[in-house]
Amino acid sequence: MSKRLQITLYVIAAYLTVFGFLFLFLPNVAEKVLATSLPDAVLNMLYGQLSLTFAYTAFLAARGGDGLSKLSRVILALTTGHVVVFVYQLAKGMLNFAQAGPPLIINAIFTVLLFLFRKDIKE
């Protein structure tokens, strides 16, 4: 695994960990950071747990080993999915750019970096 891919995966793990903790333990802060209301406490906790699970997956992928290719592909699917969802929400007017723009840009960058750096992995 290239150092660039490893660093990208560690950064994604940190990013997902921060948002996982915000959704799970500090939803009021998450509302301010995301500039949107989060009225459903049950879904906030679920999304927080999912974010932390994917953070752990990114961490495992960054450490390398036998499952690197599959784990990094899962994280690529996650970031690509986020890009698609945020583009859709912007296009439909569900969110404005202040709400969807930052996570869209961040996930688009992660998607491009993962796509480029995964080429170094030997299947």
Q: Where exactly are the structural domains of the chain?
A: 3-120
**pLDDT band per the 50, 70, 90 thresholds, residue 122:** low
Residue 34, pLDDT score:
85
At residue 42, φ and ψ (nearest 5 deg) are -65, -45
Q: pLDDT at residue 9 above 90? A: yes
The reported pTM is 0.76
d(CA 64, CA 46) in angstroms, rounded, equals 28
pLDDT tens-digit map of 65-94 = 777 788 888 889 999 999 999 999 899 998
Q: Check: CB of residue 117 under 8 Å from CB of residue 8.
A: yes
- Please write down the HEC assignment for all residues of the chain: CCHHHHHHHHHHHHHHHHHHHHHHHCHHHHHHHHCCCCCCHHHHHHHHHHHHHHHHHHHHHHHCCCCHHHHHHHHHHHHHHHHHHHHHHHHCCCCCHHHHHHHHHHHHHHHHHHHHHHHHCCC
d(CA 46, CA 78) in angstroms, rounded, equals 16
d(CA 15, CA 62) in angstroms, rounded, equals 14
Which residues neighbour 73 within 8 Å (Cβ) at sequence distance 6 or greater?
A: 118
Q: Check: CB of residue 15 under 8 Å from CB of residue 51.
A: no
